[in-house]
Structure 1
């Protein structure tokens, strides 16, 4: 199976993440290119993925009803931002 590349949009589950994979398609009639996205459930054995990380997925045997992908590696970590109200409080 061809590997997929995507961005993590949710990591609220144990050992599972929700990955959004984007692809560019061409409209057959007008020839305009546009982006389509699809979300995949993937297995994250060590729970190391965070929201915003870019990952590479590889296909695997069915692990559950919706999980058929495994997080192979984190290609780019997300930049961590400090929340506005997280400054020092007195």
Structure 2
């Protein structure tokens, strides 16, 4: 009996979620730097890929690790491996009206 061990040689890269397109679909931007061919200045570039998010667990701004996979749709060729860093959500930054009212100093009148 022979046991065939399959080694996973698929590419994994790290990027940032920039858009939630629809159900289970996101766009991930992968930034990289490359020298200009003529002027040799380092130029910031980016690649945008469509990624499959099976559990809808990511939000815009999250730092994610993605892996190359078989074609899942017309554009999607990548899938989420893990969420490395969560983005700060607006719900965490939300401040109630009472908090604002308490922090504003009241005007004192002289009599």
Give TM-score scaled by structure 1 length.
0.87
Q: Provide, for residues 14-50 of structure 1, a one-character-per-residue CA deviation record: whole Å limited to 9, x for no partner.
A: 0111101111111121110011111111001100000
Mean alpha-carbon deviation: is it higher for 66-75 or for 30-39? 30-39
- Segments of structure 1 that go 5 or more residues without pairing to the other structure are none
Residue 87 of structure 1 is matched in structure 2 by 96
Residue 3 of structure 1 is matched in structure 2 by 12
The root-mean-square deviation of aligned C-alpha atoms, in Å, is 1.5
Map of 1:1-90 to 2, 5 A cutoff? 1-81=10-90, 82=93, 87-88=96-97
Mean alpha-carbon deviation: is it higher for 12-21 or for 51-60? 12-21
Q: What is the DSSP-based 3-state SS (H/G/I as helix, E as strand, rest coil) of the residue aligned with 1:67?
A: coil
Higher Rg of the two aligned structures: 2
Q: What is the DSSP-based 3-state SS (H/G/I as helix, E as strand, rest coil) of the residue aligned with 1:20?
A: strand
Could you say which structure has the higher helix fraction? 2
Structure of greater relative contact order (alpha carbons < 8 Å, 6+ residues apart): 1
Could you say which structure has the higher strand fraction? 1
How many residue pairs match? The answer is 87
**Where in structure 1 do 4 or more consecutive aligned residues deviate above 3 Å?**
none
